[in-house]
Amino acid sequence: MIVCVCNNIREGELREAATRTGCRSACQSYKALGHRAKCGQCIRFARTIISEARSAA
């Protein structure tokens, strides 16, 4: 599933960035993937995914 349409970031990429790099925020995870939040519509969902990924790790 695509989480961020502006940057074409998929859920799996976001989960991997959160667990691999230890990112705690959407902005940190986006930066680890070489992007930054643009319109902001994805931030709430991205936070949920990051939180779930870190809890499962």
Phi, psi of 9 (to 5 degrees): -95, 125
CATH topology of domain 2-56: Arc Repressor Mutant, subunit A (1.10.10)
The full set of domain ranges for the chain reads 2-56
List of the chain residues with pLDDT < 70: none
- Between CA 57 and CA 47 the distance in angstroms is 15
At residue 56, the pLDDT reads: 87
What is the pTM for the complete model shown?
Answer: 0.86
